[in-house]
A and B are shown apart, each in its own frame.
Chain A
Amino acid sequence: MSTEPRVGCAVDVNGRITFDLAARPVEGEQLLLRLRPKKGRPEQTLHVLCLEPAGDGRSRAVLGPQPVLAEGRWDVYLLRGPEGERQRLRPGLRDLRALVDGRLRDWPSPLAVRIPYVTKDGHLAIRAWLRPAHAEADGIDVTDRSMTVTARLHGASLGTGAAVQLRLRGRDGAVRTLEPQVASDGRSLSFTVGCAELATATGTGSGVWNVFVLPEPGAPLIRVARLLDDVADRKEVFVYPPVRVGGTVVRPYYTVDNDLSVEVTQAD
């Protein structure tokens, strides 16, 4: 049996995470959060949390809204022993109910989202997003020739000349610009992507288009994504039907970072 302790956690509407460890705190033990570095790069960002007794032979550590976590995946460790040896933690219950309807609230700028999740190898980690502004995708309506996306801005509002841009990943210059329908509050918008046009713009072969909102001319682009609920890995869960146009298949999907993209592939 594994000796890795289990740690449960609960998140409140402000993003505060309370960790609950099923063991009495031992002098010198702390929780460590580490931003997972890219392969082969050294780790740079760490946060250490105090473990306090919580009665009933348990201990507790709190990650308040501050510090703001940089975007990425944060591994959670128990620091123990005189040398501060690290031990990974197995997940206990993750009470994320406060996150489920997060898209119904207005989020300030910068948008900071944290979702505790279980890694592929069965350990507790936190998925964090940190963006100056955010366009939260809601429903996507797929027909046999187009897809209509509704979204809502957080930390920015739409001005005159607002546009939606689809930018072809990995190739210079290919941009499709669409005019969105903007609600009177300047926050909600919808836009329709014509699948045949997108297929033509992709040219031969396959391509992936990333979706952005340009709130007004000259402003920074805002990535369209779906971040405001409890689902840390959306790609295999929010699945949309493919649209066939001629010899190509066009399909909206969420990336491994929960960003919205549209994939164009050649049909077999």
Chain B
Amino acid sequence: MKISFLLHNAYGIGGTITTTFNLAQALAERHEVEIVSVLRHREHPSFALDPRVTLRPLVDLRQEKEHELHLRPARVFPRAEYRYGQYSELTDRRIGECLAGTDADVVIGTRPGLNVHLALEAPRHVARIGQEHLTLDNHSPRLRGALRRAYRRLDVLTTVTEADAGTYRRKMRLPGVRVQALPNSVPDPALPAADGSAKVVVAAGRLVPVKRYDLLVEAFAVVAAEHPDWQLRIYGTGREHARLQRLIAERGLYNNVFLMGAAAPMEAEWVKGSIGATASDFEPFGMTIVEAMRCGLPVVSTDCPYGPGEIIEDGVDGRLVPVGDRAALGAALLELVRDDERRRRSGRAALQNARRFAPGPVVEQAEELLAEAVSARRAGRQVARGRARMHQVLAGQGFAARDTALTAADAVRRAIRRGQR
């Protein structure tokens, strides 16, 4: 098969980029694979990409930031999408041309707006796989409305958790579209696993409010008080940096908690630690949890929707604590800090249990989905067999009606706010 991924920006750092690279590289063992990056802002990607995977940027911001068409708003890319501000008539045009001229058998979109492009603009003979790395419930009603209309023209829609796949089946009416969970994969680590002896807790992710690094810093205070030789290292960059730095100073944790800046790849950083930590309020998947576990770290995480609970087995290969509960998070960290044997045992369990996220098992599932979509396209039939049952149809219509009402209410609220200014 010739497989083409459509990615927002292959040159940045983030879970979707990592997982797309991982899947692309694993598929490149047996297939011809390319990644089309809508945007490019630097010479090299942050993550090393297997040379067998072709990387093709569409808009180079270093030269085209001021391009006349890039200054005009996008019309195909949906307005309600999170990254709408980064898209333009230029991206609309380039993506459209790219899809029209593609020689791939299957194109895989990697975010809602790109899935919409794919659904509307892919040639008839090309199989269309939409990947959802975020979650349906987190989308605005307006975006859900836009996706509801476009996604019917996809062949397959993948989510990263079973929970989100269930939500899509329940709330969207997508007859003929196969909705299936396909977890992110993490390659086999190249370095030996951590041995549990380092007195370092490691966390990684963008420094944004939803990740709740403030909660993690505060929770770590109990660890630092009882075990001053332990460190918390937080890797990543983002707009919360200054606020977190102030919090670390206020709590007197500057000898124990460090904002390490960006690290890509994280593997060499995980193995310097012996516990991983996530304090998010919301985690569509939880890529860093799997990465840490694959390096032999037990992970303490909030049990937030949707990923952590499908990755961590509480008390075996990590801990799950209630969302936003500083005391519980601190206590769970302390349990593993205090007990060397328990920490090592949990680390070994993490290493073992996270093998299900190795590329092998995940890529097999992906290949099967892709092959099925391609052969269904060729035969001119739908991928999802059978019709949607009547109650699903009705339920889907109910959610659609509710989103329409919410969208209208949003518009009214905005109009009122405008009037008040």
Interface on A for B, CB 8 Å cutoff?
Answer: 1-2, 6, 8, 90, 92-97, 100-101, 122, 139-142, 230, 236-241
Contact = CB atoms under 8 A, between A and B. Distances in A.
B272 A96 contact: yes
B358 interface: no
Contacts of B248: 239
A96 B271 CA distance: 9
B261 A238 contact: no
Contact of B254 (A90, A101, A142, A236): A142
Interface stretch (B43-51, B80-88, B134-142, B276-284): B43-51
16 contacts: A1-B44, A1-B51, A6-B48, A90-B44, A90-B48, A93-B191, A97-B271, A100-B198, A140-B255, A142-B254, A230-B272, A236-B261, A237-B260, A239-B245, A240-B254, A241-B249
Contacts of B199: 101
A97 B271 CA distance: 7
Given A97-B271, A97-B272, A122 B198 contact: no
A93 B245 contact: no
B268 A139 contact: no
Contact of B44 (A2, A236, A237): A2
A144 to B, nearest CB: 12
Contacts of A92: 48
B134 to A, nearest CB: 29
A139 B255 contact: yes
Interface of B: 43-44, 48-49, 51, 55, 190-191, 194, 198-200, 228, 245, 248-249, 254-255, 258-261, 265, 267-268, 271-272
A239 B254 contact: yes
Contacts of A1: 44, 49, 51, 55
- Which of A93, A97, A141 is most buried by chain B, counting CB atoms within 10 A of its CB? A97
Q: Enumerate the 3 nearest inter-chain pairs by beta-carbon distance, A residue then B residue, closest first.
A: A241-B249, A139-B255, A93-B268
Given A1-B55, A93-B191, A237-B261, 6 more contacts: A1-B44, A95-B268, A96-B272, A97-B272, A100-B200, A238-B254
Nearest to A100: B272
B44 A95 contact: no
Dominant secondary structure of chain B at its interface with chain A:
loop
Nearest to B199: A101
A249 B278 CA distance: 35
Given A2-B43, A93-B265, A97-B198, A238 B258 contact: yes
Contacts of A101: 198-199
A96 B198 contact: no
A158 B199 CA distance: 29
Contact of B268 (A96, A236, A238, A239): A96
Contact of A95 (B49, B191, B261): B191
A95 B258 contact: no
B200 A122 contact: no
A76 to B, nearest CB: 16
A240 B191 CA distance: 33
A5 to B, nearest CB: 11
Contacts of B249: 239-241
Contacts of B261: 236-237
The residue in A93, A139, A141 that gathers the most chain B C-beta atoms within 10 A of its C-beta is A93
A76 B249 CA distance: 37
Nearest to B248: A239
A153 B384 CA distance: 70
Contacts of B267: 93
A236 to B, nearest CB: 7
Contact of B258 (A94, A97, A237): A237
Contacts of A94: 268
B265 to A, nearest CB: 7
Contacts of A95: 191, 268, 271
Given A2-B44, A92-B48, A97-B198, A241 B254 contact: yes
Contacts of B258: 237-238
A263 to B, nearest CB: 16
A198 to B, nearest CB: 19
A24 to B, nearest CB: 15
Contacts of B198: 97, 100-101
Contacts of B271: 95, 97
Contact of A122 (B44, B190, B254, B272): B44
A117 to B, nearest CB: 11
Nearest to B254: A240
Nearest to B48: A6
A242 to B, nearest CB: 9
A256 to B, nearest CB: 15
A139 B43 CA distance: 40
A206 to B, nearest CB: 21
A2 B255 CA distance: 40
B10 to A, nearest CB: 11
Nearest to A233: B261
Contacts of B245: 239
A195 to B, nearest CB: 15
Contacts of B259: 237, 239
A241 B49 CA distance: 40
A2 to B, nearest CB: 6
A240 B252 CA distance: 9
Contacts of B260: 237
A245 to B, nearest CB: 17
A178 B39 CA distance: 57
B34 to A, nearest CB: 13
A238 B258 CA distance: 7
Contacts of A122: 44
Contacts of A240: 249, 254
A184 B215 CA distance: 40
B213 to A, nearest CB: 15
Contacts of A2: 43-44
A141 B267 CA distance: 32
Nearest to B245: A239
Contacts of A236: 261
A101 B199 CA distance: 9
B414 to A, nearest CB: 39
B261 to A, nearest CB: 7
A138 to B, nearest CB: 8
Contacts of A6: 48
